[in-house]
Chain A
Amino acid sequence: MFDPQKFIDDQVEKTRSEVKGKAIIAASGGVDSTVCAAIVSRALGDQLIAVYVDTGFMRKGETKAVDGMLKRLGVNHIVVDASDEYFTALEGVTDPESKRKIIGEKFIRVFEREAAKSGAEYLVQGTIAPDWIESGGGLRDTIKSHHNVGGLPSDMSMKLVEPLRDLYKDEVRKVARALGIEVAERQPFPGPALAIRIMGEPTRESVDIVREACAIVEEEIEKAAAAGKMNIPWQYFAVLLPVKSVGVQGDVRAYGYTIAVRAVESVDAMSATYMRIPHEVLESISTRITNRMKAKVNRVVYDITDKPPATIEWE
């Protein structure tokens, strides 16, 4: 069986022998990159700088929360606001693979800029097994290009260090618990963030809608779980659909967008079942979303597809 303590010791030693000099780590605040930061900082100490990029597609309050968490973790870190660059690069882009590749390349350009300032030659990433499996290559079909694998530009100059490549999320969590990482149980969140929860062009306006909807889904589900009405799902979020439908609000015709709610159970993200959420919880999600965002959204649907045939995220 997988032994997290042995894994930590092996990786600290391996990093020490492989990385000579300064390194930066792509830190999102999620469990994968935070575990990676903790392990690599044990090996490199002050030679490691964590770089968190605010792409403009982060969830409500996320940038501030991650900044605080990285401070408490005790790793050198900086927060880069690159949102203008991302919104410009994604203007008019609707194809999911194009979004992922543009976002992946932008990440690398930001990291290269930061690396140049500090003279770092290595880029540490929290890549885990599903990232490279689903990105495809050779015989393996591309299901989606994960930004940190399939989205890497071919001309990147930094050397990649990826200590978690052979692990799945459940194993990363075991390592996180062994390290006492505070985000050990945090739900997975994709690198391209809310940009791939907007079925269509990611703009400041569309990201505001899906950000608010995601916050409501998270709050309602966490509240229900705290009250013992359900377990916390593996992952739970909202997706903005470009479909408009007719509604009636205060005796007035409405014509607005649709939010799809997604919540799944999984162990490793490689297969998943949709979560059996109690109807009363679904109803409070629906009521809050449509009341709060009445000018934009007047319909909420629940996704009841397993993986396969669907994937967990919609893009």
Chain B
Amino acid sequence: MRILVVDNGGQWTHREWRVLRDLGVETSIVPNSTPLESISADGLVLSGGAPRVGLDEEAMGMCGAYIDKLEVPILGICAGHQYMALRLGGKAVPSATPEFGKTLVSVVDEDDLFKGLPETFVAWESHNDEVTELPPGFKLLANSETCPVQAMKHETRPLYGLQFHPEVEHTDNGYEIFQAFLDVCEARKKG
């Protein structure tokens, strides 16, 4: 199985690559300017990054096209998550309370990504913006005291968004969450 990490300039983009490699899948980091037709993968991770997605959509490169056109599972993280919401008709704005470092995330609906995980767990954050309104067709999977959408999923398409960073060592259950995403990719591939 081959999973690509789309680089939106995050501090932890390379960590996402490392976790995927540790989980034993073929993976590489590609710039977000990679043309749609050059993307050949069984799943995609849209990394976080410095761009403020509400303000500089251009910096998110081809991410919009990937979200619109690709049929493989996509996991948006931080800026990737916010941009997914924005692109599909939700709302992402500067956070009333930005979160940096340790936060307690509460699972609302375990769905695929949080299956078997505790109802609350420690997650590491680093964001100035956040999703405040889910796009049509999405459901809420998790929140925290100061952020209404910590995780979301499309009802029918394999699109997932996480505000927190499962790739960071200090986040509990991070590898399990990535493995759950890989299971979705694997099931989809077998079709």
B-binding residues in A (CB < 8 A): 1-2, 129, 133-134, 138-141, 143, 166, 168, 266-268, 270-273, 306-309
Are B9 and A140 in contact (CB-based, < 8 A)?
yes
Are B9 and A141 in contact (CB-based, < 8 A)?
yes
* 1-53 of chain B: CB within 8 A of chain A: 7-15, 18, 21-22, 24, 31-32, 49-51
Are B169 and A270 in contact (CB-based, < 8 A)?
yes
Are A271 and B50 in contact (CB-based, < 8 A)?
no
Interface residues of B toward A: which range?
20 to 34
Are B7 and A306 in contact (CB-based, < 8 A)?
no
State whether A1 and B22 are in contact (beta carbons under 8 Å apart), knowing that A141-B50, A308-B100 are contacts in the complex.
Answer: yes
B170 at the A interface (CB under 8 A) = yes
- Min CB–CB distance A231 → chain B (angstroms): 16
Are A2 and B170 in contact (CB-based, < 8 A)?
no
B136 at the A interface (CB under 8 A) = no
Residues on A with beta carbons closer than 8 Å to the beta carbon of B102 = 273, 306
B180 at the A interface (CB under 8 A) = no
* A271 to B101 CA separation, bound complex (whole angstroms): 8
* A273 to B170 CA separation, bound complex (whole angstroms): 8
A-binding residues in B (CB < 8 A): 7-15, 18, 21-22, 24, 31-32, 49-51, 59, 100-102, 124, 126, 168-170
Are A143 and B11 in contact (CB-based, < 8 A)?
yes
**Ranked 8 nearest A-B pairs via Cβ:** A139-B9, A309-B100, A141-B50, A140-B9, A306-B101, A267-B169, A308-B100, A308-B126
Are B50 and A133 in contact (CB-based, < 8 A)?
no
State whether A271 and B32 are in contact (beta carbons under 8 Å apart), knowing that A307-B101, A308-B101 are contacts in the complex.
Answer: no
Residues on B with beta carbons closer than 8 Å to the beta carbon of A134 = 11
Most interface-central of B11, B12, B15, B24 (chain A CB within 10 A) = B11
* A129 to B21 CA separation, bound complex (whole angstroms): 15
Residues on A with beta carbons closer than 8 Å to the beta carbon of B49 = 139-140
State whether A271 and B169 are in contact (beta carbons under 8 Å apart), knowing that A138-B9, A139-B50, A309-B101 are contacts in the complex.
Answer: yes
State whether A139 and B169 are in contact (beta carbons under 8 Å apart), knowing that A1-B22, A268-B15 are contacts in the complex.
Answer: no
Are B12 and A270 in contact (CB-based, < 8 A)?
yes
A273: nearest chain-B partner, CB-CB: B170
Are B10 and A140 in contact (CB-based, < 8 A)?
yes
A132: nearest chain-B partner, CB-CB: B14
Are A271 and B9 in contact (CB-based, < 8 A)?
no
* A270 to B15 CA separation, bound complex (whole angstroms): 9
B9: nearest chain-A partner, CB-CB: A139
Residues on B with beta carbons closer than 8 Å to the beta carbon of A143 = 11
- Min CB–CB distance B169 → chain A (angstroms): 4
User: Can you report 21 A-B residue pairs in the complex whose CB atoms are below 8 A from each other?
Assistant: A2-B22, A129-B14, A138-B9, A139-B49, A139-B50, A139-B51, A140-B13, A140-B49, A166-B14, A168-B18, A266-B169, A268-B15, A270-B11, A270-B15, A270-B168, A270-B169, A271-B101, A306-B101, A307-B101, A308-B124, A309-B100
* A2 to B49 CA separation, bound complex (whole angstroms): 26
Are B170 and A140 in contact (CB-based, < 8 A)?
no
Residues on B with beta carbons closer than 8 Å to the beta carbon of A140 = 9-11, 13, 49-50
* A43 to B102 CA separation, bound complex (whole angstroms): 44
* A306 to B101 CA separation, bound complex (whole angstroms): 7
* A307 to B169 CA separation, bound complex (whole angstroms): 12
Residues on A with beta carbons closer than 8 Å to the beta carbon of B24 = 1
State whether A133 and B14 are in contact (beta carbons under 8 Å apart), knowing that A2-B22, A139-B59 are contacts in the complex.
Answer: yes
Besides A139-B8, A271-B168, A271-B169, 6 more A-B contacts (Cβ < 8 Å) are: A139-B9, A139-B32, A140-B49, A271-B170, A306-B101, A309-B100
